[in-house]
Structure 1
Amino acid sequence: MTHVLIVDDEPLLREELEEALELEDLDVSVSDSVPNALAQCAETDFDAVVTDLKMPDVGGLEFLHQLKEMGFKGAMFVVSGHGAESSREEAMSLGAVACFAKPIDPDDLIEAITGAV
C-alpha cells in the first residue's frame, strides 16, 4: 500500500486531502508542521510527501531541502496558495514531481501520486 504524508498548517485542507486519498486506498499520515513531519519521516518510509510551501516557522522549500539531505527516495509534491513562480521552480529543482495551486483538486493529486509511485 502506498504511504503518503501530507504536511500543511491548514486543518481543513489536511482533512480534505486525507479523506480523498484514503478513499483511493492510500495509507495517509498528516502533519501540521515541518518539524513534526521530519520526525515522522525519520521513523517511517513514506512513498510520497505532499507539502504546502508557506507555513509558519519552517516552509515547504526547507522541508524539501531537509528531505533530500535525509536521502528521501519517495515522490515529493508541493501545494501552494501563493503564486510565487520562483518558489515553484525551486521546489522542482529540489526534486518535486509536481506543484499544485490551491484550491487543489484532490483527484489531480491522486492521479499524480499514483503515477509517480
Structure 2
Amino acid sequence: MTHVLIVDDEPLLREELQEALELEDLDVSVAESVPDALAQCAKMSFDAVVTDLKMPNIGGLDLLRQLNQDGYQGAMFVVSGHGAESSREDAMALGAVACFAKPIDTDELVEAINDAV
C-alpha cells in the first residue's frame, strides 16, 4: 500500500486531503508543521510527501531541502494557495514532482501520486 504524508498548517485542508486519498486506498499520515513532518519521516518511510509551500515559521521549501539532505527517495509534491511562480520553480528544482494550486483537484493529486510511486 502506498503511504503518503500530508503536511499543511490548515486543519480543514489536511482532513479533506486525508479523506480523499484514503478513499483511493492510500495510507495517509498528516503533519501540521515541518518539524512534525520531519519527526514522522525519521520514524517511518513514506512513498510520497505532499506539502504546503507557505506555513508559519518553516515552509515547504525548507521541508524539501531537509528531505533531500536526509536522502529521502520518495515522491514530493507541493501545494500552494499563493501564485508565487518563483516558489513553485524552486520546489521543482528541489525535486518536487508536481505543484498544485489550491483548491486542489484531489483526482489529479491521486493520479500524480500513483504515477510517481
TM-score normalised by the chain length of structure 2: 0.99
- 2:68 aligned counterpart, secondary structure: helix
Q: CA deviation at 1:100?
A: 0.3
Taking the aligned partners of 1:31 and 1:98, their CA distance within structure 2 comes to: 20
In the comparison of the two structures, how many residue pairs are matched? Answer: 117
Taking the aligned partners of 2:105 and 2:89, their CA distance within structure 1 comes to: 21
Write the mapping of 1:1-117 to structure 2, written as runs, cut at 5 A.
1-117=1-117
Residue by residue, what CA displacement relative to the aligned partner does 1:80-116 show, whole Å, maximum 9, x if unpaired?
A: 0000000000000000000000010111100000010
- 1:61 aligned counterpart, secondary structure: helix
- 2:100 aligned counterpart, secondary structure: strand
Q: CA deviation at 1:67?
A: 0.3
Quick one: which amino acid aligns to residue 45 of structure 1?
Answer: S
Q: CA deviation at 1:25?
A: 0.6
RMSD: 0.4
Q: CA deviation at 1:4?
A: 0.1
Tell me, which stretches of 5 or more residues in structure 2 are unaligned? none
- 2:103 aligned counterpart, secondary structure: coil
Quick one: which amino acid aligns to residue 109 of structure 2?
Answer: L
Tell me, which stretches of 5 or more residues in structure 1 are unaligned? none
- 2:82 aligned counterpart, secondary structure: coil
Q: CA deviation at 1:64?
A: 0.2
Quick one: which amino acid aligns to residue 62 of structure 2?
Answer: E
Quick one: which amino acid aligns to residue 56 of structure 2?
Answer: P
- 2:30 aligned counterpart, secondary structure: strand
Q: CA deviation at 1:42?
A: 0.6
TM-score normalised by the chain length of structure 1: 0.99
